[in-house]
Structure 1
Amino acid sequence: MEYILPLKDCHSHFTELVGGKAMGLGSLLRQELPVPSGFAVSTHAYREFVEVTGLDRAIQMNLRGADTIDEQRRVSERIRGLFEESKLQDSLLAELTEAYMQLSPHGMQPVAVRSSSVSEDAAEASFAGEHDTYLWIEGPDAVAKNVLRCWSSLFTPQALSYFKQFGIRANETAMGVVVQTMVAAEAAGVMITIDPMTGDRSQISIEGSCGLGLAVVGGEVTPDRYFVDKVTLDIRSRMISPKSVAYRFDSQAGEVRRIDVPEEEQMKPCLTEEEVVAIAALGKQVERSLGTAQDIEWALGPWIDGKRDIFLLQTRPETVWRNKQAAPLASSQTSIMDRLVGNMSMPMRIV
């Protein structure tokens, strides 16, 4: 195919072609780790699209003089509207439809459509979280629509601010897109293979909540937190927080919805001890393979025969401590839990 690559073929030397997210997923698949199947829409497809439609010139014109926050917001809205009013070129739409149908041999497979910018995981400035993800998309037409929406998220107000701050020109970057089969997550969250507060490399830090990962990534809940010894995989400490909202797919409405969690369920841990250790073990394996601390998104599928399968949805290099000297470890009188409790404002149950 000219525009699309299977995720397993997204090697590190293809980062400029598929973006950081697709490259990270490709590395996980080649380790035979549990990653939902999918494919990448290349940056070549993006560059050809903006050239053929004339959007490249329209983007450059709109960006002139967009120096203030208010102007960046207005320009972002105009540029994103241009993308979302457009249609994919026929050759790309045909490839996209074929690739999607290969994921859906028995019907309309729900997928996640996720941005994969060539700039989002740069060491100097992490763009992680600045671009869009769309969940539970069904059908090739809907996938095509959300590819355009992901492309348009290259020009959010936050991204335009980054471009200005780091001297990046619009024609110097591009957006790839990842399309993956959807995980009907019972729990989801993030894992960093160091202590994100101190840079302690002997620790794996896991955060999670019920349902899809939107509530955690979006900061809508205080997640459960687990701190695991990287060497022994013993759980050093954990903090269970009230999780008042969750995102789940509503089959009747045909969309992902934010729901209120019943009060009696809010303090239930989102993970079992066995699941915490299993997630940490995967994080340790990924870090060892890629050679640096990782920031990983994970999800647990539905309960089947008394267990839930773990899926890795994304990995990228940890950027905060990557080029810093780690702080000295706390004294034996101060636990990781003690340090973190001082930064928490929400009530929680400490186990």
Structure 2
Amino acid sequence: MKTFILPLVEHTTFSQGNVGGKGSSLLWLVKNGFNTAPGFIITTEAFREFIRSAGMEIQDRDQLRNLPLPRHIEESIRQAYRNLGGRVAVRSSMVGEDGVVSSFAGQLDTLLNIEGAEAAIQAVRACWMSMFNERFRNYLSERNAKNNLAMAVIVQQMVEAKAAGVAFSADPISGEDVVIIEGTTGLGDVVAGGTVNPDRWVVDSQNNIVESIQNSQTSPALTRAQVQELAAIMRKVALKANSPQDVEWAWDGNNFILLQARPITSLAGKDVYSSKFVSEMVPGLIKPLVWSTTTSAITQNVFAHVFDELLGTGKVDASKLMKRIHSRVYANVTLLGKACEQLGLP
């Protein structure tokens, strides 16, 4: 029996092929105890049946504009919306989206503040149509990706956001072990879309705020305590996922609501560095002269030999064992993890 609607609840059984990348991520967040907005997912089965009802190959979005939804699918969406009620956000969730190699962020439609069953149905249609727009087709072509015509749609209650934005559990450029948070007051889609200059915080591995930049005209989007609370949540998400995460978040005045999470695609295959344990051996700020004459020499002449013994001679580039980032020493935890595996350690 085909399933057209799945609730966003802990006991829901799903596959990414049925709920798409974003839907899979949301259900994963729910199952792992993180706060998300209530809602439901219209599965890829509904999309496929809608496409089949056209009786022809779909080449562009205009062919879908006036194509009626099969009555049983329309009624399923209508009933699910009635059970949820109120204003909702309607977002596309494509199979393969938000994966490690390629993120489709910003390429498919999201519609906010939708109210009423009829408006929700039209918003779902708009999401399906976005799969056939020129921008998305060009995006796929540039990455040699395949458009396999499988999209789910997520419908969630709108969060009455006091502040919202994006956060990274590691520096998406260097892989440094810090949490980077960007946010603004109100809805966070302007931050994710790059249309505003947000407030920005950097939080180190000890949950200390080491950088704070306020771009808002009045007060910052979050207090220091809220920044530290969100940073702690980010580390929990990354720990559960076993990979650095890129998260969209909202603050409703009482709690942080996670709107989606995905791997940081820019770090796929890259080594990750952390100061968590090495800071006890090499504390404080390291000046360039000390780094070049002492710390770097110890790294290459001592630690490199240890890794050679564990992983095999010549398999480790000594220059990658440690780095000096913002005047502090960071160790390559990716290589450390490989060494632990070699020794049979967890």
TM over 0.5: yes
Contact 2:99 2:262 in 1 (8 A): no
Q: Return the letter of the residue paired with 1:276.
A: V
Aligned mate of 2:95, from 118, 129, 132: 118
Partner-residue secondary structure (3-state), 1:155: coil
Distance 2:67 2:151 in 1: 16
Partner-residue secondary structure (3-state), 1:299: strand
| 5+ long unaligned stretches in structure 1 | 60-78, 243-265, 335-351
RMSD, matched Cα: 2.1
| Alignment correspondent of 2:325 | 330
Q: TM-score, normalised by structure 2?
A: 0.76
Tell me by how many angstroms 1:267 deviates: 4.0
Distance 2:14 2:174 in 1: 32
Contact 1:235 1:277 in 2 (8 A): yes
Q: How does 1:86-105 map to 2 (within 5 A)?
A: 86-104=67-85
| Alignment correspondent of 2:244 | 293
Distance 1:211 1:30 in 2: 27
Contact 2:173 2:267 in 1 (8 A): no
Distance 2:328 2:76 in 1: 60
Q: Return the letter of the residue paired with 1:14.
A: S
- How high is the sequence identity, in percent, across the aligned residues? 36
Figure out how many residues of one structure are paired with residues of the other and give that number: 279
Tell me by how many angstroms 1:40 deviates: 0.6
Contact 1:10 1:18 in 2 (8 A): no
Distance 2:13 2:142 in 1: 26
Tell me by how many angstroms 1:326 deviates: 4.4
Contact 1:88 1:144 in 2 (8 A): no
Tell me by how many angstroms 1:151 deviates: 0.8
Tell me by how many angstroms 1:280 deviates: 1.1
Task: Indicate yes or no: 2:209 matched with 1:235.
Answer: yes
Tell me by how many angstroms 1:183 deviates: 0.5
Contact 1:38 1:180 in 2 (8 A): yes
| Alignment correspondent of 2:54 | 53
Distance 1:9 1:164 in 2: 36
Contact 1:187 1:208 in 2 (8 A): yes
Tell me by how many angstroms 1:181 deviates: 0.6
Q: How does 1:22-171 map to 2 (within 5 A)?
A: 22-54=23-55, 57-59=57-59, 79-104=60-85, 109-170=86-147
Tell me by how many angstroms 1:208 deviates: 0.2
Contact 1:130 1:156 in 2 (8 A): no
Q: Return the letter of the residue paired with 1:42.
A: T
Q: How does 1:224-303 map to 2 (within 5 A)?
A: 224-230=199-205, 232-242=206-216, 266-301=217-252, 303=253
Task: Indicate yes or no: 2:175 matched with 1:214.
Answer: no
User: Mean Cα displacement is larger for which, 145-154 or 121-130?
Assistant: 121-130
Q: Return the letter of the residue paired with 2:62.
A: G
Tell me by how many angstroms 1:127 deviates: 1.2
Distance 2:88 2:259 in 1: 12
Q: How does 1:183-198 map to 2 (within 5 A)?
A: 183-198=159-174
User: Mean Cα displacement is larger for which, 9-18 or 317-326?
Assistant: 9-18
Q: 1:43 to 1:18 in 2, by over 3 A?
A: same
Contact 2:106 2:193 in 1 (8 A): no
Tell me by how many angstroms 1:196 deviates: 1.9
Distance 1:196 1:12 in 2: 32
Q: How does 1:307-346 map to 2 (within 5 A)?
A: 308-326=254-272, 328-332=323-327
Distance 2:113 2:107 in 1: 20
Distance 2:33 2:326 in 1: 39
Q: Deviations over 1:253-282 (max 9, x none)?
A: xxxxxxxxxxxxx14211011111111111
Contact 1:8 1:25 in 2 (8 A): no
Tell me by how many angstroms 1:15 deviates: 0.5
Tell me by how many angstroms 1:48 deviates: 1.0
Q: TM-score, normalised by structure 1?
A: 0.75
Distance 1:119 1:218 in 2: 21
Contact 1:207 1:224 in 2 (8 A): yes
Q: Which has the larger radius of gyration?
A: 2
Contact 1:116 1:175 in 2 (8 A): yes
Partner-residue secondary structure (3-state), 1:189: strand
| 5+ long unaligned stretches in structure 2 | 274-322, 330-346
Tell me by how many angstroms 1:219 deviates: 1.3
Distance 1:194 1:12 in 2: 30
